[in-house]
Structure 1
Amino acid sequence: MTRVVAGTVGGRSLEVPPKGTRPTSERVREALFSRLGHLGVLDGARVLDLYAGSGALGIEAVSRGAVHATLVEHARVAADVCRRNARALGLTDRVAVVAERAERFVGRAAVAPWDLVLVDPPYDVSDEDLAQVLLGVTGSLDPDAVVVVERAARSTEPTWPAGLERFDVRAYGDTRVWFAEPAHPGADGGAGDPAAPGD
């Protein structure tokens, strides 16, 4: 069973698609959102959850103070699960679900800039495809936004496009999570310790 870890709907159960997704474990979500809370990016945030699966990451963000989350998931079955989860938790006014491929969605300009982008692609998404998605979101970020990429620990670091710089990376068991931010003039970039352990 998957649950929302904390916040206004903490402890509530989430439906998970029957196949084809890789839900983020509660342990990883707890560590990830603890880090995001420390960074101060959750309160009032506009969140984009790409490759949403069950919607657990975006819903967790809303539970913890984000004002709105857009869940993007191209698999119809999974997108329907996202909608049912939002409805069951009473979050339909704060959670929108878009049944579309991530690369197509990010190819359009956002109505307003994103404060937090959560990217948890399936294993079969190539490094090249991931790089294109990251490039697509770069132009729609708030200057203080955070972009999070979650992949298997054995995966190579994402190829960051011009305009995005990695500032931290954490390992949680067999999962590795990279944190990036919009590049600022004069920043040295990549300051995070690539060997930083998980919590």
Structure 2
Amino acid sequence: MRIVAGKFRGKQLQSPSDDSIRPTADRVRESMFNILASRLGPVFDGVRVLDLFAGTGALGFEALSRGAAHVTFVDTGAEARGIIRDHIEEFGAGGITKLLRRDATDLGTPGTFGQFNLVFLDPPYGKGLGELALAHIAANGWLAPEATIVFEESVDAAVDLPSAFMLEDRREYGSAAVHFLSFAG
């Protein structure tokens, strides 16, 4: 795994030790960011990113590489947080990132974290956790008006979006379906 574009382009990302963390493949990540660039612009200046079920943090670090102002990573797994912590140190991103050990489906309120314009959501497939996390962040003030959400789920899973979200696009990559959503809140 590597960063695809931007100031960290080509930097290697640590891989997890087993299948409990399922990183988004480089090819899929590149395609996702090409779609986002057509919506948000090629440079993510000023974009505040929330990376839920962050795993290796590849999606958040890709956004940072492309100019995002800040990324908050959320994961409950010890290995995932260790990998993300190592990446933060390696990329010198301590001042523009936060790493939270919280349940993405029950984050509470954002408090001083503020609101986010871009959210990556890559939960374990087929468990409905993505929909729970979406409902929670919408109800608790984590999202800026018209925020963009990128939600990865199994291609076979039925996705039942909370009413505050509108499906803008859906792409399939092997066993993964990537949903591009907008927040109407």
**TM-score (norm. length: structure 2):** 0.90
Where in structure 2 are the equivalents of 1:106-125 lying within 5 Å?
A: 107-110=108-111, 111-123=113-125
Number of equivalences:
179
Percent identity, please. 36
Q: CA deviation at 1:154?
A: 1.7
Q: CA deviation at 1:117?
A: 0.5
Q: CA deviation at 1:113?
A: 1.3
The question of 1:166 aligning with 2:180 is answered no
Letter in 2 for 1:109: P
Report the counterpart of residue 176 of structure 1 in structure 2: 177
Q: CA deviation at 1:90?
A: 1.4
Q: Which of 69, 72, 78 is residue 70 of structure 1 equivalent to?
A: 72
Q: CA deviation at 1:43?
A: 2.6
Other structure's SS at 2:4 match: coil
CA distances 1:40-97 after superposition (whole Å, capped 9, x unpaired): 1633110000010110000101101111101101011210110101111111112211
Gaps of 5+ in 2: none
Letter in 1 for 2:73: L
Letter in 1 for 2:34: S
The question of 1:126 aligning with 2:124 is answered no
8 Å CA contact retained: 2:146, 2:184: no
Q: CA deviation at 1:173?
A: 2.5
Other structure's SS at 1:102 match: coil
Q: For the residues of structure 2 that align with 1:6 and 1:180, how far apart are their CA atoms? A: 23
Q: For the residues of structure 2 that align with 1:15 and 1:24, how far apart are their CA atoms? A: 13
The question of 1:80 aligning with 2:79 is answered no
8 Å CA contact retained: 2:122, 2:130: no
Q: CA deviation at 1:161?
A: 1.2
Q: CA deviation at 1:16?
A: 2.1
Other structure's SS at 1:13 match: coil
Q: CA deviation at 1:174?
A: 2.3
Q: CA deviation at 1:130?
A: 2.5
Report the counterpart of residue 144 of structure 1 in structure 2: 146
8 Å CA contact retained: 1:59, 1:95: no
Report the counterpart of residue 49 of structure 1 in structure 2: 51
Q: For the residues of structure 1 that align with 2:155 and 2:117, how far apart are their CA atoms? A: 26
Q: CA deviation at 1:23?
A: 0.6
Q: CA deviation at 1:104?
A: 2.3
Q: For the residues of structure 2 that align with 1:120 and 1:175, how far apart are their CA atoms? A: 10
Q: CA deviation at 1:172?
A: 1.9
8 Å CA contact retained: 1:23, 1:53: yes
Other structure's SS at 2:169 match: strand
**TM-score (norm. length: structure 1):** 0.84
Q: For the residues of structure 1 that align with 2:106 and 2:77, how far apart are their CA atoms? A: 14
Letter in 2 for 1:17: P
C-alpha RMSD over aligned residues:
1.5
